[in-house]
């Protein structure tokens, strides 16, 4: 998944969750892109250039252990990380979900390559949901 797909998914999830305050929404959205801090060209990794040199992409920051640690710091952050992991499981390269076991896991049936057509379709669908939620929740527009 591209970073824009992850951040759109994070924003959409944050807005769909009831009774979430602004800091929690921000943390969930941050969590949705945080695991890619291990990639030098990612939205977060480019701001912390030392980490992509130390960490293997889709390794420890893409593990359930990392999600649990983030959840322990602040639950919405951990939920955002978990959302990122779920989306990256769709990537054919897989993620080291059970790190330190280095076996990469991906979904066996549906795969979505980062930057591919399905990545764009997913991102567009998420934008439609996000726009619908914003129109309904903040502007009072009713679709039903």
Annotate each residue in 92-111 with x if it binds Zn ion (CB under 5 A) or - if it does not, as one string.
Answer: --------------------
By the rule CB under 5 A, 38 interacts with Zn ion:
no
Classify residue 137 as exposed, middle or buried by CB count within 10 Å of its CB (0-12, 13-18, 19+): exposed
Q: Give the span between the Cα atoms of 23 and 73, in whole angstroms.
A: 13
Select from 52, 122, 132, 67 the least CA-distant residue to 97.
67
- Among 15, 29, 36, 82, the residue binding Zn ion under the rule CB under 5 A is 36
Tokens 């726009």 sit on residue: 131
Of the candidates 117, 108, 137, the residue with the CA atom closest to the CA atom of residue 14:
137
Q: How far is the CB of 68 from Zn ion (least distance, A)?
A: 17
Task: Give the nearest distance from C-beta 114 to Zn ion in angstroms.
Answer: 8
- CA dist 85 and 83 (Å) reads 5
Binding mask 41-80 for Zn ion (x = CB under 5 A): ----------------------------------------
Under the binding rule (CB under 5 A), the answer on residue 119 touching Zn ion is: no
64 vs 133, which CB is nearer to Zn ion?
A: 64
| Min separation Cβ 88 and Zn ion, Å | 4
Q: Tell me the two tokens of residue 122.
A: 């997913």
- Binding region for Zn ion (CB under 5 A): 35-36, 88
């Amino acid at each position: 998944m591209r970073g824009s797909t992850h951040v759109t998914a994070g924003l959409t999830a944050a807005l769909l969750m009831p009774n979430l305050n602004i800091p929690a929404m921000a943390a969930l959205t941050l969590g949705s892109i945080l695991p890619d801090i291990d990639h030098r060209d990612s939205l977060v990794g480019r701001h912390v250039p030392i980490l992509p040199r130390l960490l293997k992409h889709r390794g420890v920051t893409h593990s359930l252990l990392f999600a649990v640690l983030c959840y322990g710091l602040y639950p919405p952050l951990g939920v955002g990380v978990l959302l990122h992991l779920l989306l990256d499981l769709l990537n054919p390269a897989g993620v080291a979900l059970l790190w330190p076991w280095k076996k990469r896991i991906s979904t066996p049936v549906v795969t979505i390559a980062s930057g591919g057509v399905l990545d764009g379709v997913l991102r567009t669908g998420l934008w439609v949901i996000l726009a619908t939620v914003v129109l309904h929740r903040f502007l009072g527009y009713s679709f039903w």
